[in-house]
């Protein structure tokens, strides 16, 4: 009896403290399910699962046979076992967040809302932005998230990268600028294309064998010495795949278009050349998309014309010009230059509504009363003549001083615009007055200073009449056939409540309350917050975060509304020189004005998707060029202490926006020598273990610059009360 009792105790000890049968079965099943398509024998499973207990080891094979008999796993004649559980196969886009793992954002068609985590070893050399086909494991991993592995790369998002070349006697590497490219690119010395050590280059991936840790590439363009203005701007252009020039055949096609407007063309249009007309644009603008005409009608009402460059008269379908315009889809405005959608002959010449020239236009003409109520609308092709070109500052001065050209017309239009604007906000439009930073550059592109661009009444005047024209065109097409006709809309979904709650919690850290409870009008709550923060140090931070918490506006053929503008239907009609969707709108609008039937939506939806993607690329590249100039500006700025505001707190550092320059930098935890700081994730703060000092979101601080890195576009800061370190660039 005693012997039996002792044996039972030993088994209990082994199974209870080491691993019991149920745990073992679960562990084995999870392993096989997460290795779908592979077979393992008992010995391999023991090794893979690192089972060291002798009793558990002995129990693996009988358990496998038992699971196979129950149909939970499959067994081959050679006693190899495999999962029978069908995993999910999906496609998605890679977000390569750090060198250790990436997330796959599933395509919407799969209905999977959660991103899938994939470890670097299972990425199969997929890179950020790539479209991939993956297998999602049936069982969530130790992270508590869905996990999987890449089966194939469906398409590369890019095969060219910009970086700095490092040359050694036998080989070379290109260190990419792109933060989400976590591999250096190996280059054979014969493939350097004349590049010298430390120069910036464009490198094209040529090979990446399965067992190689790094891809191999070939230098396709030498940009020049790192740190020089032209080299860095070209680096940004190459990084985002922006074109450096037009193909010669596109330029040739543009140059062949006749400049004269034929009498026959004028006969087919409404002639509005005798009506006072003017343009209002930035002082340095050359492409004038839009003009406004104004006159008083015999009945005492006002006629306001919004006239838009008739680009599609010159850019015909199936031409090289059309193909290039579609490929670019938008003009890109970098910190020192414009990369136009159309060649200069069109953008600054034929299409541009320059003063004292007859121009072909597409117009919305409104009959309005003094309350800004629209009584009648006419839409169609016109010929116009701009009498005056105003810069924004000049137009504002005429309103303020009540003198100068067209000051009465400008004043009256400004009054109408204010009424339109008030009506829009009363209906629930959101008032985001974003802070826009502009640089003063010398002839070599060196930043001499920066200033925050101020939005005045004259900017809002133009904005309101362009919004009115865009909305009118969208409503005309929608109402014509109850929304059944294919058209290009600009939509903006209602914000996701969860993301708004996250933003509300963030705003609370700065001492602001955003009420988004049941029955609260979100737009009113947001507008109230925007009024509260106007002119305060946290304005820029909270505005940017508010915008990020919103859904992204996009182009689509779906006739949905625009939350931010509080319009039921909205489109982009007013900027065809710089936006391809506006060209699509012009074509479809004329097609319907001519009595045409609705085309199939699918082709137009594909063009909308392409345009939205190109718009994002343009915005990302514009931000990168501004960040580059901010880093360069701070590297040249005087060494002094700056007022700042804490905009982010993470376990590895504190993000601070310098109030004076709107530049954001980071203070690394490892550089904070006064104490050991721990991250309190729940309250988004760092707490010193000894001094109990807290660093929290929204806190006003004093900082100094200790290092700037133009390659990585980063600024390293330290708290001003630290012992000063030597500034590094």
In a domain, 466, yes or no: no
Q: Residue 528: pLDDT band by 50, 70, 90 thresholds? A: confident
Query: Are 267 and 316 part of one and the same domain?
Result: yes
The distance in angstroms from the start CA to the end CA of the chain is: 81
| pLDDT tens track for 410-457 | 999 999 999 999 999 999 898 877 777 888 888 888 898 888 788 899
Query: Are 353 and 307 part of one and the same domain?
Result: yes
Among left, alpha and beta (phi > 0; psi -120 to 50; other), residue 482 is left
Has residue 697 got a pLDDT over 90? no
| Orientation of helix 320-328 relative to helix 580-593, angle to 10° | 120
- Say how far apart CA 504 and CA 21 lie, in whole Å: 49
In a domain, 469, yes or no: no
In a domain, 79, yes or no: yes
Query: Are 596 and 642 part of one and the same domain?
Result: no
Q: Residue 541: pLDDT band by 50, 70, 90 thresholds? A: confident
| pLDDT number for residue 437 | 80
| pLDDT number for residue 438 | 85
In a domain, 471, yes or no: no
Query: Are 198 and 167 part of one and the same domain?
Result: yes
Query: Are 573 and 498 part of one and the same domain?
Result: yes
User: Do 54 and 94 touch, CB atoms closer than 8 A?
Assistant: no
pTM of the predicted structure, to 2 decimals: 0.82
Task: Please give the residue range of the domain that contains residue 151.
Answer: 88-155
Query: Are 349 and 484 part of one and the same domain?
Result: no
Helix and strand totals (H; E) in the chain = 18, 33
What are the tokens at 27? 């562990």
Dihedral, CA of residue 668, residue 673, residue 678 and residue 682, to nearest 10: -50
User: Do 709 and 703 touch, CB atoms closer than 8 A?
Assistant: no
In a domain, 465, yes or no: no
- Say how far apart CA 244 and CA 199 lie, in whole Å: 19
Query: Are 569 and 548 part of one and the same domain?
Result: yes
Among candidate residues 106, 80, 88, 78, the one with its CA nearest the CA of residue 34:
88
| pLDDT tens track for 2-49 | 433 344 334 333 333 456 778 888 888 888 877 777 889 989 988 888
| pLDDT tens track for 603-662 | 999 999 999 999 999 999 999 999 999 999 999 888 899 999 888 888 889 999 998 888
The percentage of the chain sitting over the pLDDT mark of 70, rounded to a whole number, equals: 95
Residue with tokens 């094209």: 204
* Residue that finishes a domain, picked among 83, 116, 144: 83
- The CATH number given to whatever domain includes residue 687 is 2.40.50.140
| pLDDT number for residue 3 | 39
Lowest-confidence region among 85-99, 314-328, 507-521, 549-563: 507-521
* Residue that finishes a domain, picked among 68, 83, 98: 83
* Residue that finishes a domain, picked among 53, 83, 113: 83
Has residue 355 got a pLDDT over 70? yes
| pLDDT number for residue 9 | 39
DSSP 3-state of 140? coil
User: Do 431 and 530 touch, CB atoms closer than 8 A?
Assistant: yes
In a domain, 457, yes or no: no
- The CATH number given to whatever domain includes residue 169 is 2.40.50.700
Has residue 487 got a pLDDT over 90? yes
> E strand or H helix at 588, and its extent?
helix 580-593
Residue 572 half-sphere exposure toward CB, CA atoms < 13 A: 23
- Say how far apart CA 684 and CA 669 lie, in whole Å: 14
Q: Residue 518: pLDDT band by 50, 70, 90 thresholds? A: low
Any idea what DSSP says for residue 121? G
Question: β-strands 700-709, 685-688: how paired?
Answer: unpaired
Q: Is the dihedral of CA 523, 528, 534, 540 positive or negative?
A: negative
In a domain, 235, yes or no: no
Lowest-confidence region among 117-131, 300-314, 646-660: 646-660
> E strand or H helix at 31, and its extent?
helix 21-33
Query: Are 135 and 169 part of one and the same domain?
Result: no
- What one-character-per-residue DSSP string does 510-533 give? TT------TT--HHHHHHHHHHHH
Looking at every residue in the chain, the average pLDDT score rounds to 89
Query: Are 401 and 358 part of one and the same domain?
Result: yes
Has residue 520 got a pLDDT over 60? no
Phi, psi of 119 (to 5 degrees): -70, 155
Q: Is the dihedral of CA 407, 409, 410, 411 positive or negative?
A: positive
The number of distinct structural domains making up the chain is: 6
Query: Are 207 and 255 part of one and the same domain?
Result: no
Length of the chain (residues): 729
Determine the Cα angle at 122 with ends 119 and 125, to 5°: 105
Alpha-helical (H) ranges within 305-356 are 311-314, 320-328, 344
Query: Are 298 and 403 part of one and the same domain?
Result: yes
- Say how far apart CA 216 and CA 223 lie, in whole Å: 19
Q: Residue 594: pLDDT band by 50, 70, 90 thresholds? A: very high
Q: For residues 237-262, give the mean pLDDT.
A: 94
Query: Are 110 and 27 part of one and the same domain?
Result: no
Has residue 517 got a pLDDT over 70? no
Residues in CB range of 729: below 8 A, 6 or more apart: 635, 707, 708
In a domain, 580, yes or no: yes
């Amino acid at each position: 009896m005693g012997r039996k009792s002792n044996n039972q105790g030993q088994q209990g000890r082994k199974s209870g403290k080491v691993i019991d049968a149920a745990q073992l079965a679960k562990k084995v099943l999870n392993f096989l399910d997460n290795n779908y398509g592979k077979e393992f024998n008992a010995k391999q499973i023991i090794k893979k699962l690192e089972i060291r207990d002798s009793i558990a080891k002995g129990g693996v094979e009988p358990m496998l046979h038992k699971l196979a008999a129950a149909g939970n796993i499959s067994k081959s004649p050679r006693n190899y076992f495999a999962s029978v559980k069908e995993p999910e196969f999906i496609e998605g886009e890679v977000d390569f967040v750090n060198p250790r793992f990436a997330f796959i954002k599933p395509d919407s068609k799969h209905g999977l809302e959660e991103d899938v985590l994939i470890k670097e070893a299972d990425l199969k050399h997929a890179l950020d932005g790539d479209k991939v086909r993956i297998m999602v494991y049936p069982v969530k991993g130790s992270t508590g998230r869905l996990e999987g592995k890449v089966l194939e790369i469906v398409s590369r998002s890019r095969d060219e990268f910009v970086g700095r070349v490092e040359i050694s006697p036998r080989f070379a590497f290109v260190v990419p600028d792109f933060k989400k490219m976590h591999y250096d690119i190996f280059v054979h010395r014969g493939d350097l294309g004349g590049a010298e050590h430390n120069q910036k280059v464009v490198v094209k991936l040529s090979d990446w064998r399965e067992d190689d840790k790094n891809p191999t590439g070939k230098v396709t363009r030498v940009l020049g010495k790192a740190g020089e203005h032209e080299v860095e701007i070209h680096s940004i252009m190459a990084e985002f795949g922006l074109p450096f020039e037009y193909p010669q055949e596109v330029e040739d096609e543009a140059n062949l278009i006749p400049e004269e407007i034929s009498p026959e063309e004028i006969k087919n249009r409404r002639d509005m050349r005798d009506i006072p007309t003017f343009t209002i644009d930035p002082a340095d603008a050359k492409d004038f998309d839009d003009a406004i005409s104004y006159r008083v009608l015999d009945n005492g009402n006002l006629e306001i014309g919004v006239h838009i460059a008739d680009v599609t008269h010159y850019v015909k379908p199936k031409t090289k010009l059309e193909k290039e315009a579609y490929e670019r889809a938008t003009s890109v405005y970098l910190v020192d230059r414009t990369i136009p959608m159309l060649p200069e002959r069109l953008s600054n010449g034929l299409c541009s509504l320059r003063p004292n020239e007859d121009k072909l236009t597409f117009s919305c003409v409104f009959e309005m009363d003094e309350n800004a109520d629209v009584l009648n609308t006419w839409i169609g092709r016109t010929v116009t003549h701009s009498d005056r070109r105003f810069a924004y500052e000049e137009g504002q001065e005429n309103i303020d001083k009540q003198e100068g050209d067209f000051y009465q017309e400008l004043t009256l239009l400004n009054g109408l615009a204010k009424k339109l604007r008030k009506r829009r906000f009363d209906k629930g439009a959101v008032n985001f007055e974003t802070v826009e930073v502009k640089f003063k550059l010398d002839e070599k592109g060196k930043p001499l200073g920066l200033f925050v661009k101020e939005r005045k009444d004259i900017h809002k005047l133009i904005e309101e009449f362009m919004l009115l024209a865009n909305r009118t065109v969208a409503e005309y097409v929608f109402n014509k056939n109850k929304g059944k006709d294919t058209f290009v809309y600009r939509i903006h979904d209602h914000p996701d409540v969860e993301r708004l709650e996250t933003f509300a919690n963030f705003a609370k850290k700065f001492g602001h309350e955003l009420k988004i409870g049941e029955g609260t009008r979100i737009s009113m709550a947001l507008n109230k917050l925007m009024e509260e923060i106007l002119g305060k140090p946290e304005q820029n931070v909270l505005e940017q975060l508010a915008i990020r918490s919103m859904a992204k506006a996009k182009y689509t053929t779906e006739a949905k509304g625009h939350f931010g503008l509080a319009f039921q239907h909205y489109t982009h009609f007013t900027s065809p020189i710089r936006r391809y969707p506006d060209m699509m709108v012009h074509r479809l609008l004329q097609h319907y004005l001519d009595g045409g039937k609705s085309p199939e939506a699918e082709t137009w939806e594909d063009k909308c998707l392409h345009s939205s993607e190109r718009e994002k690329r343009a915005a990302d590249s514009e931000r990168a060029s501004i960040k580059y100039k901010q880093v360069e500006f701070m590297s040249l700025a005087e060494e002094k202490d700056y007022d700042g505001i804490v905009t982010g707190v993470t376990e590895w550092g504190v993000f601070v926006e310098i109030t004076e320059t709107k530049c954001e930098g980071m203070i690394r935890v490892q550089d904070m020598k006064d104490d050991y700081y721990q991250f309190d994730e729940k309250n988004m703060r760092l707490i010193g273990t000894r001094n109990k000092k807290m660093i929290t979101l929204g806190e006003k601080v004093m900082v100094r610059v200790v290092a700037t890195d133009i390659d990585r576009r980063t600024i390293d800061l330290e708290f001003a009360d630290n012992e000063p370190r030597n500034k590094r660039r």
